[in-house]
Structures are given as C-alpha cells and as structure tokens.
A = this chain, B = another copy of it.
C-alpha cells in the first residue's frame, strides 16, 4: 500500500487529542496487518517517534518502503461536530509529504494486491507503473481536491484499477450523477470492477459489476474519533482478500464486512488506540455481531411473502 503517515490533532464531541499517530498508511496497514503481510510505502519526518515505528513493526508491517524525509512528518488538524461523518480541516502541513515521490523497494513490486490510498493521482499512477506483474487486484481512494484539480488523471487511473473506494459526495462530484446507482454505472462503464461507497455511520455499499452489497456500520454506543475509519475499512477489505487470495464475488462481500469490522474498532477510540491492540477473539466476535446485525430468513424455495390473495 502507498499512503501517508501523519501526526493528527483531532477534536471531536468526545474530546481532544493532539499529535496522535495517523495517516492513511497507518490505519490501513494496522487494519490489514491482522489479516496479511503488509508492505507500506510512505514518508515520515525526522520527528517520527521510534515508538511509532516500533508499533508498525510489532504489528508485522514491512517498513522497508517507509522513507525518512528531510523535515517534519505530515500534520493534520481537524475537528468533528455533531455530524461525525464529515471532518472539518483546520490545518494541513504537508511537510515531508510535499515532495514525496514514492519509490517501491524491489521486494514490493511483485505484491499480488495493491492499495493506493488518497494521494495525488500522479503518484498513484507512478506506483501502479512500478508494479510488475500487475497485481491481481488494485484498489484506490481519492478525495474532492483531486477531483477538482486532477480529474482527467484520476479518471485515467480509474480505468486501470479494479476497486474505487470513495464517499458519497465524491462519487457524485466525480461522475456528475446524483444517484449512487447511476454514479456506479458511470464508473463501471469506464472499466472499474467495483465502486465501494463509504457512508460513515451508515456503512458501505459495494456496487460490483455482478452484484450490489450493502454493509451497515456497526451501531456503537459511542463514536470517539472517526478519523481513519475509511482507511481501516480499506485495510480490512484488502487484508481479507489478500488473506484468502480470492477476488470472487463471495469473497468481496465478506471483505466488505471485514472492512466494516475494522472501521468499527477504529472509531471507538482516538487515533489507533483501539486498532493497535485487538485480539483474534475480539475481531471474530465483531464479525459475528455483523452476521447477527444483518441476518434474516429468506423465503423458502418457491414460497413468497404472505400476500393477500387479491394481489395478482
């Protein structure tokens, strides 16, 4: 995966936390790391704490591709008000991230699965170009900024990836189509295999060529910090697919649930507080809770709903 490592300062209705370890690469690789071996390509500054590097390594994350830049680590300051689905950016300091030109270690170029987190489409192209052979599945994220200033490059990228994971507003902005069904049709025509629409506390919907699957978010008594939920979702999604080495439709449905499971943990604490210390029992219990949350008896063979006889 390629993405960002950051120190975030976050204010939510549940409190404030300064200089917490964050960034798409952090959330993604910790989440995916529960399922598979993850190699992270990103840049950190001279101020990057040894304990944070240790945390990634301890979680089995391969940091060979983690560059040390000349300057400070990327910093993001933001807040959430009552609408926990939308972050309000107060300050962004790109720092070492500004001149980041990802270069993949040889050992990463043959990785079977690739996630391009939210960075400029040019860098996403460059990473994809360094892969050989092409990975079995490539997924990418993006944001309103790139749709505003680099839409042609982003659309060109989308023609070469399998799965695009964005939020509702981004799907509408990118396609100019109001309904998500319409937006997904627009994107699938351009060669995408699946559009995954992330909807925060409303879950995620996978619009795949061959099926549509809606995964709810896990209803939590308290959402502490939504930062990183989308990248944790992507980590669970890609981690599951890599672990079973299966990109089929059944695997992709389960992957969306695995993604929702990981995102549900992330939002329970500030930063990676919860994500960094999960046990197999906790992860499996949450997966089972998703089964209980969504299951209902389908109708038996040939049997319909109990409709009145009058209905044709």
Contacts and interface: CB of A to CB of B under 8 A. Distances in A.
A297 B60 CA distance: 28
A210 to B, nearest CB: 11
A311 B213 contact: no
B178 A253 contact: no
Interface residues of A, number: 64
Contacts of A312: 279-281
Which of A203, A258, A291, A306 has its CB near the most chain B CB atoms (within 10 A)?
A: A306
A296 B240 contact: no
16 contacts: A33-B308, A35-B306, A35-B307, A37-B308, A181-B220, A182-B222, A205-B219, A207-B219, A243-B305, A243-B307, A243-B308, A250-B297, A253-B295, A254-B297, A280-B304, A287-B305
A244 interface: yes
Interface string A275-312: 00011110110011001111111110000111110111
A223 interface: yes
A283 B296 contact: no
B243 A311 contact: no
Interface string A203-222: 10101000111101001111
**Identical subunits present:** 2
Interface string A232-269: 00000000100110000010011011100000000000
A179 B307 contact: no
A125 interface: no
A299 B289 CA distance: 12
B36 A308 contact: yes
Interface string A175-218: 00011111001000000000000010011010100011110100
A256 B222 CA distance: 25
